[in-house]
Structure 1
Amino acid sequence: MESTKHDRLLEIFFRSLRGEDLSVQRLAKEYGVSTKSIGRDINDLKSFLADHRHLVGNTELNYSSQDKCYRLHMDEFLTNQEIFALLEVMIGARAFSKEELLTLANKLKRFTTVQDRPMLNDLIRKELYHYTEIKHDCISVQETLWKLAKCITEKREITIEYYRADRAWKTNRIRPASVMFTDNFFYLIAFNTEGDPDKPLYFRVDRIKYITEHRKKFTQAEAPDFDEGLLRQRSLFMWPGKLRTIQFEFTGSAIQAVLDKLPTAKIIERKGRTYTLEADVYGDGIKMWLLSQGRRIKVTAPEDFVEEMRQEILRMSANYSV
């Protein structure tokens, strides 16, 4: 039985959205109509897309004389290259559960062309098979993120129940300010409703087990302005602590790796293979990174930070009976 023109147009359009090649001959046979009818359908779709650019953007049905079929081209669609890059970042981050990652990957792959989809599947197949997520305490990272985002937008106080890094169970009533992703984890940045209201607190989103939303809302004055971009540049591993300017010497060939790791770092002097750098940093996470560089790094200022590093190295050496 011949399908109605309206239904047929919708089906053909949705097939093109899924990346399917539209062959006039094949479609005519499938729908039991003449090739002229399918040709008119294609022209109607092309006219619709041209007349409604304010809705669909630069979207066109282009004809390939080589393959003798029409393909949908959309400027707003992600390209195959962009999708591959995004999938590689998501896999490497390990921030989502395997189920969430597979769902996202399958949705993104729908934007690839039929010709390139097998290649993309082959490129990421082994990585997805061996994917190991970071252990999560929350049921879903995505759901928790979205719930927090809504509370931030509504400026609503919340109580979170979560596991600290030492696995101690804690409860905090807070004013959520922002969420950000860094070093494989999503973080909630918030301020206490009591105590020091100006000191930002950091919570790993995946460790938040329960969120209770309160009716009470807070004002802009009760939650300080927060610059996530500046925090990302100055803070390593999202460890709390004061802001300070440090100087250190780096001896080695991979100076670019240092500059990449510390966005605020700048070279203030160079003598041969020894670089003197200065950087603005938040918190104690910087100590972990500096110590990981071994003898290639020597902290030179400020003096109190030099002493902190010296004492930490002495405690480390005591572990090895040096």
Structure 2
Amino acid sequence: MIYLKYVGRREKCIMPKGTNQKFKLYRLAQIMLEKTDEEHYITMPEIMESLAEYNITADRKSIYTDLRDLSVLGIEVEGEPIGNRYHYHVVSRTFELPELKLLVDAIQSSKFITEKKSNTLIKKLEKMVSEYEAQKLQRQVYVSGRIKTMNESIYYTVDAIHNAISENKKIKFQYYQWNVKKEMELRHNGAWYHISPWGLSWDDENYYLVGYDSDAEKIKHYRVDKMLHIRFSSENREGKEFFNKLDMADYAKKSFGMFGGKEQTVKLLVKNNLVGVIIDRFGKNVILFPTDDEHFTVNVNVHVSRQFLGWVFSLGDGIKIVGPDDVVEQMRSEIKRLIEHYS
């Protein structure tokens, strides 16, 4: 309510203050971010009405000043004359709507993020846009056969791994597997793994810890969602000399399904129509050698395992291992084993 107060001979318009005046700039920012965007505007009377809902009163002049002050907070507000009134809206945000849509899609389609955590993260992303644009983020990404992890502690496990790496400490954890009763079962009778963490790798929709096992004196990797009860060790990390020679991206590229195996250079004979498959897997730097009008050969460095052989097998007669001889023999043995298994 506006009332008049006499001060000497001059009339002065005094507006009673609401009980939450100290939150005025914060609430104004909230209103502008929630109720406006590139397509939705708000008028000065609507701003005053929205502030009143928070028991905050303000006159037009002070609101004009506050709208300018929002730029200090990184919130740029623009006023446009429409009809006989100015309409105000936020013109820039930290993230654009298409960028947030990509993040939402990535969260929903990520296997290692649980359904519960996916919903929580998306709700937080919705707060970064207006209430109108938030509705566009409430969309379902359908991925064939999508299975989400059930380990809710994975986010804290990842954080603990990063902290251990930054503080140069080993970690201890227990590792589980599923049994035929669909129960979590600790491996090695619940023994603790004592590992020097050096990095995290994303492969085949799963998160892996890549670390050094001092007892085995070699690099190993572990599914992060299968790690339990992670804790810091008092010991400093070991295996630095191994990781100084390791290209993490290259390591993941060579390991099919992150299964280990002897690293070898394998020569493949490939049909031209599968060139995209080779580039997608091994990158554009691979050298292709034309052999005839329909085929090329390529030398790739891989960890030879059943998973690698299975990948080759899955491509049918479009690809063939032609060297070295011991890998060709491994493929023959694997084919023979499968024939006997199904005969």
TM-score range, shorter chain: 0.7 to 0.9
Residue 175 of structure 2 is matched in structure 1 by 162
Deviations 1:74-96 (A, max 9, x none): 35x11111111222222222221
Residue 89 of structure 2 is matched in structure 1 by 71
Deviations 1:247-269 (A, max 9, x none): 11122624212311222643222
CA distance in 2, matches of 1:207, 1:70: 51
CA distance in 2, matches of 1:63, 1:254: 55
2:276 to 240, 256, 259: 256
CA distance in 2, matches of 1:165, 1:294: 32
3-state SS, counterpart of residue 116 of structure 1: helix
Unaligned runs of 5+ in 1: none
Q: CA RMSD in A?
A: 3.1
Against the structure 1 CA distance between its residues 271 and 35, is the aligned structure 2 distance closer, same or farther, given a 3 Å change threshold?
farther
CA-CA distance at 1:126 after TM superposition = 6.6
Residue 37 (str. 1) matches residue 59 (str. 2): yes
Residue 2 (str. 1) matches residue 2 (str. 2): no
Residue 118 of structure 1 is matched in structure 2 by 135
Asked if 1 retains the 8 angstrom alpha-carbon contact of 2:105 and 2:141, the reply is: no
What code does the residue aligned with 1:209 have? L
What code does the residue aligned with 1:92 have? S
Residue 13 of structure 1 is matched in structure 2 by 29
Deviations 1:26-71 (A, max 9, x none): 122344599982353233332452xx4xxx55x4112244595322
CA distance in 2, matches of 1:191, 1:39: 64
TM-score by length of 2: 0.78
Against the structure 1 CA distance between its residues 97 and 28, is the aligned structure 2 distance closer, same or farther, given a 3 Å change threshold?
same
CA-CA distance at 1:186 after TM superposition = 0.6
Residue 287 of structure 1 is matched in structure 2 by 309
CA distance in 2, matches of 1:34, 1:82: 34
Residue 96 of structure 1 is matched in structure 2 by 113
Residue 182 (str. 1) matches residue 200 (str. 2): no
Residue 219 of structure 2 is matched in structure 1 by 200
CA distance in 2, matches of 1:139, 1:156: 24
What code does the residue aligned with 2:167 have? E
TM-score by length of 1: 0.83
1:229 to 249, 274, 283: 249
3-state SS, counterpart of residue 267 of structure 2: strand
CA distance in 2, matches of 1:151, 1:223: 18
Unaligned runs of 5+ in 2: 1-15, 180-184
Residue 165 of structure 2 is matched in structure 1 by 152
CA distance in 2, matches of 1:39, 1:251: 73
Asked if 1 retains the 8 angstrom alpha-carbon contact of 2:171 and 2:232, the reply is: yes
Deviations 1:255-288 (A, max 9, x none): 2123112226432224222222221223524223
What code does the residue aligned with 1:205 have? V
CA-CA distance at 1:296 after TM superposition = 1.8
Bigger shift: 201-210 or 166-175?
166-175
Residue 26 (str. 1) matches residue 46 (str. 2): yes
Asked if 1 retains the 8 angstrom alpha-carbon contact of 2:42 and 2:88, the reply is: yes
CA distance in 2, matches of 1:252, 1:215: 54
Against the structure 1 CA distance between its residues 163 and 78, is the aligned structure 2 distance closer, same or farther, given a 3 Å change threshold?
same
3-state SS, counterpart of residue 76 of structure 2: strand
3-state SS, counterpart of residue 277 of structure 1: strand
Residue 81 (str. 1) matches residue 98 (str. 2): yes
Bigger shift: 284-293 or 112-121?
112-121
Q: In percent, how many aligned pairs have the same letter? A: 19
Residue 62 (str. 1) matches residue 78 (str. 2): yes
Against the structure 1 CA distance between its residues 256 and 65, is the aligned structure 2 distance closer, same or farther, given a 3 Å change threshold?
farther
